[in-house]
Amino acid sequence: MASTRAFTAPISTGEQVSAAAFNQLDDGQYYSVSRNGSVSLAVTSTIDMGSGALDFVITGTGTGRFKPKATTTQFTGSGWPEVESRTVTSWVPPVSCDFLEADWVASASAYTQKLASKVIRFYLTLPIDAQLDAVRIGFQKAAAASGLPGIMPQISLDYLTLSTGAYTNIGSVSDTAASEAAYEAYHIVSLTSLTHAVAVGRRYILTVTGDNNTTSSSDGLLVVCPYVDLTVTKLRFP
């Protein structure tokens, strides 16, 4: 066919190829470009990949890339990789925290408050480029307590920018247990609707401040290791 280009006849750098000519390629033929030039397809409709299972292969060296100019590039039909987003739950390892032994008692995966209004910090290991949707943590007050404390426990999420040493608060929330019975039962305190993009060069820190009505571990607040909800986007290949 006169309008086809075999691999032995590369397209000149910067040459524009019509969609009609592209669609007329025979099996085993392809357009190529020499050196580090560019080739554009003058597409006003649809590029037909053909019923003969013609492959559309993009290769490059150095800084070569596929750069569509259209606002939206659509790949239809079977065989293309698809962008897939899913929500996952991830527990934070119990060793990823710091506290004073005078203030908290550690067990396998939980910590019990010993004195009023004491702080424990959890360091969250999060995947880069994921979206952080929520942070959740389990609380349970010892039954030896009498009534609700005047100051309920609070969780606060911050990130440290490693290059500057600056702290930025993402959000905070207090325990909203409405009765002594609810406070003494195991319950989840959640910091939600965050939609925070996890970025490289940051350290994420969840700070728990205990209630002000604790005098020993016998009436202390039990804090279970936190977990997070993430939205992870990736390419899924057929």
Do residues 23 and 127 share a domain? no
Do residues 101 and 175 share a domain? yes
Domain boundary among 80, 111, 134: 80
Question: Percentage of the chain surpassing pLDDT 70?
Answer: 60
CATH of residue 152: 2.60.120.260
Q: Phi and psi of 183, rounded to 5°? A: -70, -35
120 or 2: which leads in pLDDT: 120
- Mean pLDDT taken over the chain: 75
- Residue 219, pLDDT > 50, answer yes
Band of the pLDDT at 128, cuts 50, 70, 90?
confident
Q: Phi and psi of 21, rounded to 5°? A: -70, -40
How many Å from the N-terminal Cα to the C-terminal Cα in the chain?
A: 33
- Structure-token pair, residue 222: 């039990």
Handedness of CA 121, 122, 126, 131 (dihedral sign): negative
How far apart, in Å, are the Cα atoms of 47 and each of 19, 42, 69, 127, 148? 6, 10, 15, 37, 68
Domain boundary among 27, 53, 80: 80
Alpha carbon distance 111, 120 (integer Å)? 9
Alpha carbon distance 96, 94 (integer Å)? 5
Do residues 214 and 115 share a domain? yes
Do residues 49 and 116 share a domain? no
Question: Percentage of the chain surpassing pLDDT 90?
Answer: 42
Do residues 118 and 218 share a domain? yes
Domain boundary among 80, 96, 129: 80
Do residues 140 and 189 share a domain? yes
Q: For the chain, what is the domain count?
A: 2
86 or 21: which leads in pLDDT: 86
What would the mean pLDDT of 176-188 be, rounded to a whole number?
A: 94
* Parent domain of 162: 86-236
The whole-number pLDDT of residue 179 equals 92
Do residues 131 and 38 share a domain? no
The whole-number pLDDT of residue 194 equals 94
Band of the pLDDT at 232, cuts 50, 70, 90?
confident
Letter string b/e over residues 65-82, b meaning 16 or more CB atoms within 10 A of that residue's CB: eeeeeeeeeeeeeeeeee
**84 contacts 235 by C-beta, under 8 angstroms:** yes
